[in-house]
Structure 1
Amino acid sequence: MAEGKDSVLQILEWIWRGVQIFAVLVAGVWTYQTFVWTEGPLLAQNVRLNSHLRAATPATGGCQRAFQVNLENTGKSELNVVKVVTVAYRFELQREPDKFARLIDIDWIRANGTAEWTKVFPDPKYQPDPENKDEDKAKKAKWSPFLGPLRTTETYNHSFDMLLRYEPEAWIYVETEVYVEGSNQPKVGGAWDRVCGQWRPPVDPTDRLSVEIGAGAGMPAFVPASFSADWSG
């Protein structure tokens, strides 16, 4: 009788061990799905970079425009922005008569356009020189846009304001590269449009060139184009 009871207890013990092993396996699968598939990507660097060109406003000899950049930390880890490079290119784009469409190729713009200005944060020109003790550090930048920690769900906005000369055939492409600590590749956003968009200089009836330029105001509207994306890694 005692032997039978011992056998039952042994079987129950095996069953209990099996239940424990099964519970450990289930917990392991849940942990893997939760933290590797769900939480893991959120703990990586997740950045949303949006950019666009604002509408032009009249200015002497041309127009004023702003390139707006919005940087948002969409992950669950704090990010540290270490460098930002923004470049504005001037280029000319003509429709090809024998083709229905022509690609506005960003690589072509970078290779063939003219880089009108470049702004780097931090800008070396305005950083204190540690070896120059007589330097007036009050005139040097103590703070730069974008740079530093960006906490989770935090958004940083910055506007690059430009004065542009009106040229009927000219287009502008502005691009920003954001470098985040720990990432091998920058986060990139850009936008392009005609230099002054749909704005045209006032028509002077005594000036034939002004009349020709002003006539372009009746052309179909062109919406400024941009590219933005969510980056993870």
Structure 2
Amino acid sequence: MDMDRLARYTDIAKNLAQILALIVAAVWTYLLFIRTEVPSLEFRANTSSSLEWHDLDSNRCIASFRVDHENTGRSSYDVAAYRWRVWEYAAPDSGKKIDYIDLQAIQDQAPLMERVVPDEERKAGPFITHYPPGTAFGHNFEWVVEKQPHRFLFFRLDLAVDGIKNKESWHTGSWGVACKDLTNKNPAQSNTVPFPGQAVQPPGYKRDRR
């Protein structure tokens, strides 16, 4: 009788140990997933920009602000909105041999121009589309600028992911002396060009020249 009871207790203890081992393994696997896999599923992207000046006539040039965006993460996402802004500022002149250009202080001021898309006039636009992992897209935003000496312009684009439309997800910016280092290349030739083999065509937008 005692041997049977001992055998039952032994089986119960064995079963409990197996259950406990399964629970510990499950908790460990979950914690390992939280620490290693979950961060890798966050939205990740590379957003870059460049600025070129194209000669238009004796009094004006075209500012071509090129932006490229690539989903470098492991999760898909939708860009739901974008905002471009332009600031005008003068070069610092303290009399020193070198002066710091504080771009953050410039952006703290009201922009010369800005636009948020979508709005009442435009419901779609470049970059507003679905981005599977590895997908990339590029677009040139263009403005006609008067030629004025010592005039600096800073261009910035913000992209917002669906679900947080009131908060930027990524941004990029470029600045330079207006209408300097002019090129005769037609900026329209590189307008809205996806990366080779990774074409993404946002629906229903037209060329955006401001």
Q: TM-score, normalised by structure 1?
A: 0.64
Give 1:191 deviation, angstroms: 1.5
Which consecutive unaligned segments of at least 5 residues does structure 2 have?
Answer: 184-210
The match for 1:70 among 65, 68, 71 is: 68
Q: In structure 2, do the counterparts of structure 1 residues 19 and 99 end up closer, same or farther at CA, with 3 Å as the change threshold?
A: farther
Give 1:171 deviation, angstroms: 0.8
**What is the match of residue 81 of structure 1?**
79
d(CA) in 1 for partners of 2:178 and 2:153? 5
Which consecutive unaligned segments of at least 5 residues does structure 1 have?
Answer: 128-142, 201-233
Show CA shifts across 1:104-143 (max 9, x none).
Answer: 233334416x61x43432242345xxxxxxxxxxxxxxx5
The match for 1:52 among 45, 49, 52 is: 49
The match for 2:129 among 125, 145, 148 is: 148
Please, what is the CA RMSD of the aligned residues? 2.9
**What is the match of residue 10 of structure 2?**
11
d(CA) in 2 for partners of 1:86 and 1:96? 31
d(CA) in 1 for partners of 2:21 and 2:97? 66
Give the length in aligned residue pairs. Answer: 180
AA aligned opposite 1:59: L
d(CA) in 1 for partners of 2:182 and 2:93? 20
**What is the match of residue 125 of structure 1?**
121
**What is the match of residue 185 of structure 1?**
167
If each structure's helix is expressed as a fraction of its own residues, which one has the higher value?
1
Q: In structure 2, do the counterparts of structure 1 residues 169 and 163 end up closer, same or farther at CA, with 3 Å as the change threshold?
A: same
SS in 2 for 1:144: coil
d(CA) in 2 for partners of 1:186 and 1:20? 47
Identity between Structure 1 and Structure 2 (%): 17
Instruction: Check whether the contact 1:51–1:191 (CA below 8 A) recurs between aligned residues.
Output: no
Instruction: Check whether the contact 1:70–1:155 (CA below 8 A) recurs between aligned residues.
Output: yes
**What is the match of residue 21 of structure 1?**
20
Instruction: Check whether the contact 1:49–1:69 (CA below 8 A) recurs between aligned residues.
Output: no
**What is the match of residue 92 of structure 1?**
90
d(CA) in 2 for partners of 1:103 and 1:22? 61
Give 1:175 deviation, angstroms: 1.0
d(CA) in 1 for partners of 2:57 and 2:97? 37
Q: Is 1:175 equivalent to 2:175 in the alignment?
A: no
Show CA shifts across 1:63-95 (max 9, x none).
Answer: 333212222334444323222111122211124
